[in-house]
Amino acid sequence: MSESAKLSFKGQDYEFPVITGTENESAIDIAKLRASSGLITLDPGYKNTGATTSAITFLDGEEGILRYRGYRIEDLAEKSTFLEVSYLLIYGELPSQAEYENFSKEITHHTLVHEDIKKILEGFPSNAHPMGVLSSMICALTAFYPESLNPNRSEEEVNLSIIRLIAKMPTFATWAYKNEMGHPVNYPDNSLDYCSNFLKMMFALPAEKFDVDPVVASALDKLLILHADHEQNCSTSTVRIVGSSQASIYASISAGINALWGPLHGGANQSVIEMLEAIKADGGDAKKYLDKAKDKNDPFRLMGFGHRVYKNFDPRAKIIKKAADDVLEKLGVNDPILDIAKELEQAALSDQYFIDRQLYPNVDFYSGIIYRALGIPTDMFTVMFALGRLPGWIAQWKEMRENGEPIGRPRQIYTGANERDYVSMNRR
C-alpha cells in the first residue's frame, strides 16, 4: 500500500504521495504542491531535498555505506579496476571479458586529441591553475566535435562522446600539468593501461627513459575507483542541471569540473595538504588548529573533515587511510605530514565540537598524502579528483537524459523591494 504525507495550511488539508526507493529511503513527492496549495518549499543547499531518483550510487551517511550499482566500494576498490568501474557506472552492469576488452580498446584508440587544441593550451600562462585549463579544454571539444552540440543524437553518437571523454581526459589533465611546468607535452602510449598511460604522459621527459612503477599505477587506479561517483554531490548536480537544458555532454562535464574546483568540494584535497603543511611549518601543534576550526570568529575550517551526507566515517577515507600507509611503505616514502594528519584526526574524533557535529574525515583528508607520494603536485590534486569522478558524471548525465528529466529550474521566495515608481536622476 503506497504511503502518503499530509500537510495542513490555513485550515486546508493537503495530501501528497510518498515514494520509497529500493533501500527504503522515502521522499514526499511535492510535484503538485504549488498547484494545490500555492506553497513551495525552501531548502538552501538542498540539505533535505531530493533532486531526482537514481539507480547509480547508494550512500547511507549514518552507516557509512557506499555502493556503485549495488556493489560495495570496499569490494570494488580491492578487486576491480577503474575502467571496469567506469563501465559499471555508465552501463549499469559489470562487463563480460569481451565487453571489457572492447570498451578498453575503444578508449585506447581515442586518447589522441586534435593538434589545434595545443593552440588553446599555449594560450594559458604557466601559472594557470590546471583545473581552469582542464575545464576549458573539455569544453573546447564542442568545437572539434560540433555534432555533439545536439545531445539527442543516436545512442551510438552519444556513446562515442562518452568514449572520447574518458579517453581524452588523461591527455588533457597531463597537458595542463606540462603547461604549468614548461615541459613539452607527451602523447598517449597505446601499449599501456589507463593509469600507466596517464603516469607516463604526466612524468615522462624527452631526455630520459621512463618506466611506470606498478605500485604507483595500482595506487592511482584504486584512488580513481574511490572517486568515481557519489550520487547528487555539488559537481554531479551541476552536470545534471547543465545537461537538463540540453547543452552538450562536453559543456555539462566542463561545468562539473568547475563546480568540483571549490575548496568546500573537490578542491578540499589541495586545501588539506596546504593546511597540513601550514601546521607543520607552525610547529605541528594540532590542538592550535583544532581550536581555530572551532572558533566561530575564525574562518578556518578543518579541511578534509565533515560531510553533507556522511555523519559517520566516509568509507572512502578508511580505505585511503590504509592505502596511504601501504603505498608510502612500498615506495619508501616517509612523509611527516601523514603523522600530523593522523594526530589531527585522533584529536578531532575525541573533541566534543566534532563529536556533536558528527564531523569525520572525508575522502579528501588522506588522498592528497598518497598523491604527494606518487609525485603529483598539490595543484593537480583536484584534477585527479575530476579524472576519477568523470565516469560518475557521465553516468548521471546519461541517466538524466534517458529519464527525460525536465530542465532544472528551482523557485524562490522574493524578499526584495515591493513595487515602486521609477525616480528620474535629478530627483534622487
Q: Enter the C-alpha cell of residue 259.
A: 563546480
Q: Give CA–CA dist 30/368, Å, rounded.
A: 41
* Residue 237 binding ligand SDX, by CB under 6 A: no
Buried b (16+ CB within 10 A) or exposed e, 384-408: bbbbbbbbbbbbbbbbbbeeebeeb
257 touching ligand SDX, by CB under 6 A: no
How far, in Å, CA of 200 to CA of 211, rounded? 8
Query: Coil, strand or helix: which one is 44?
Result: helix
How long, in residues, is the chain?
428
304 near ligand SDX, judged by CB under 6 A:
yes
Interface stretch with ligand SDX, choices 278-286, 295-303, 334-342, 396-404 (CB under 6 A): 295-303
* Residue tagged active-site, from 221, 314, 351, 364: 364
CA distance linking residue 128 with residue 132, whole number of Å: 7
To the nearest whole angstrom, how small is the minimum distance from the Cβ of residue 343 to ligand SDX? Answer: 16
Closest approach of Cβ 426 to ligand SDX, in Å?
Answer: 48
What is the footprint of ligand SDX within residues 336-375 (CB under 6 A)? Answer: 357, 359, 362-364
Instruction: Tell me if residue 183 is catalytic.
Output: no
Choose the binding region for ligand SDX from 8-16, 174-182, 303-311, 317-325 (rule: CB under 6 A): 303-311
Q: How far is the CB of 96 from ligand SDX (least distance, A)?
A: 29
Please give the size of the binding site for ligand SDX, defined by CB under 6 A. 22
Residue labelled with grid coordinates 569544453: 139
CA–CA gap between residue 37 and residue 12 (Å, rounded): 8
> Closer CB to ligand SDX, residue 63 or residue 101?
63
Distance, in Å, from the CA atom of 75 to the CA atom of 315, rounded to the nearest integer, reads 12
In the bound state with ligand SDX, the residue whose beta carbon lies nearer, of 254 and 367, is 367
Assess 139 for contact with ligand SDX (CB under 6 A).
no
Q: Looking at beta carbons only, is 266 or 391 nearer to ligand SDX?
A: 266
Block residue for cell numbers 569481451? 98
Read off the C-alpha cell for 227. 572517486
Q: Pick the closer one to ligand SDX by CB: 29 or 298.
A: 298
**How far apart are the C-alpha atoms of 114 and 175, rounded to whole Å?**
13
Which is closer to ligand SDX, CB of 84 or CB of 364?
364
230 given a catalytic annotation: no
Q: Is 236 exposed, middle or buried (0-12, 13-18, 19+ CB in 10 A)?
A: buried
Nearer to ligand SDX among residue 299 and residue 332 (C-beta):
299
Q: Is there binding between residue 307 and ligand SDX (CB under 6 A)? A: yes
CB-closest chain residue to ligand SDX? 306
Q: How many degrees, rounded to 5, is the angle at CA 347 between CA 342 and CA 348?
A: 100
Which helix (H) or strand (E) covers residue 375, if one does?
A: none
Cα 390 to Cα 382: distance, rounded to the nearest angstrom: 12
Rounded Cα–Cα distance for residues 395 and 418 (Å): 44
306 contributes a contact to ligand SDX by CB under 6 A: yes
Instruction: Check binding of 264 to ligand SDX (CB under 6 A).
Output: yes
Given the residues 227, 307, 314, 379, the one annotated as active site: 307
> Segment near ligand SDX (CB under 6 A), from 80-88, 129-137, 155-163, 307-315?
307-315
- Based on CB atoms, which residue is closest to ligand SDX, 74 or 213? 74
Binding site for ligand SDX (CB under 6 A): 45, 230, 233, 264-266, 268, 293, 301-309, 357, 359, 362-364
Which residues does the annotation mark as catalytic? 307, 364
